Amino acid sequence: MRFSPFVERITGQGVAAWDIHHAAFDAQRDGEDVIILSVGDPDFPTPDFITDAAVHALKNGDTHYTDIAGRPSLRQAIAARYTERLGRPVQSGNVIMVAGAQNALFITSLCLLQAGDEVIALDPMYVTYEATLNASGATLVRETCDADDGFRPDIGRVAAAITSRTRAIFLSNPNNPTGVMLRTEELQAIADLASAHDLWVVVDEVYESLCYEREHVSLASLPGMQNRCVIIGSLSKSHAMTGWRIGWIIAAPALIGHAETLMLSMLYGLPGFVMEAALAAVLAHDDVTSGMCEIYRRRRDLMVDALSDCPGIRVLKPDAGMFVLVDVRGTGLSSLDFAWRLFREARVSVLDAAAFGEPAQGFVRLSFTLGEDRLIEACLRIRDFVGKTRMARPLSVASTC
Ligand X SMILES: Cc1ncc(COP(=O)(O)O)c(C=O)c1O
If binding is defined by CB under 6 A, does position 242 make contact with ligand X? yes
If binding is defined by CB under 6 A, does position 132 make contact with ligand X? no
3 state DSSP class of 49? helix
Euclidean distance between CA atoms 103 and 352, whole angstroms: 24
Q: Which of 166, 234, 289, 389 binds ligand X (CB under 6 A)?
A: 234
Q: Which of 102, 132, 166, 389 binds ligand X (CB under 6 A)?
A: 102
For ligand X, the closer CB: 77 or 313: 77
Q: Nearest to residue 110, comparing CAs of 230, 29, 196?
A: 230
Q: Which of 14, 100, 153, 359 binds ligand X (CB under 6 A)?
A: 100
Q: Which of 120, 122, 140, 206 binds ligand X (CB under 6 A)?
A: 206
Q: Which of 94, 136, 176, 218 binds ligand X (CB under 6 A)?
A: 176
Euclidean distance between CA atoms 366 and 348, whole angstroms: 10
If binding is defined by CB under 6 A, does position 101 make contact with ligand X? yes
For ligand X, the closer CB: 251 or 333: 251
Q: Which residue is nearest to ligand X (CB)?
A: 100
Q: How far is the CB of 103 from ligand X (least distance, A)?
A: 6
Give the total of residues touching ligand X (CB under 6 A).
13
For ligand X, the closer CB: 75 or 383: 75
Q: How far is the CB of 207 from ligand X (least distance, A)?
A: 7
Stretch that binds ligand X, among 2-10, 75-83, 234-242, 338-346 (CB under 6 A): 234-242
If binding is defined by CB under 6 A, does position 247 make contact with ligand X? yes
Q: Nearest to residue 40, comparing CAs of 21, 59, 54, 57?
A: 21
Q: How far is the CB of 129 from ligand X (least distance, A)?
A: 8
Q: If phi over 0 gives left and psi between -120 and 50 gives alpha, with beta otherwise, what is residue 332?
A: left
| Alpha-carbon 269 to chain mean position | 23
Euclidean distance between CA atoms 176 and 179, whole angstroms: 6
Q: Where are any strands of DSSP class E within 235-367?
A: 247-250, 314-316, 323-327, 348-349, 351-352, 363-367
Q: Which of 82, 106, 126, 200 binds ligand X (CB under 6 A)?
A: 126
Exposed / middle / buried, residue 334 (Cβ in 10 Å: 0-12, 13-18, 19+) = middle
Stretch that binds ligand X, among 98-106, 195-203, 328-336, 367-375 (CB under 6 A): 98-106
3 state DSSP class of 347? coil
Ranges of H-type helices in 332-393 = 335-346, 372-391
Q: How far is the CB of 397 from ligand X (least distance, A)?
A: 35
Q: How far is the CB of 208 from ligand X (least distance, A)?
A: 11
Euclidean distance between CA atoms 196 and 205, whole angstroms: 23
If binding is defined by CB under 6 A, does position 12 make contact with ligand X? no
Q: How far is the CB of 206 from ligand X (least distance, A)?
A: 5
Euclidean distance between CA atoms 99 and 28, whole angstroms: 29
Q: If phi over 0 gives left and psi between -120 and 50 gives alpha, with beta otherwise, what is residue 3?
A: beta
Euclidean distance between CA atoms 4 and 139, whole angstroms: 18
For ligand X, the closer CB: 21 or 383: 21
Q: Which of 40, 42, 70, 312 binds ligand X (CB under 6 A)?
A: 40
Using CB under 6 A as the criterion, which residues of the chain lie in contact with ligand X when the complex forms?
40, 100-102, 126, 172, 176, 204, 206, 234, 236, 242, 247
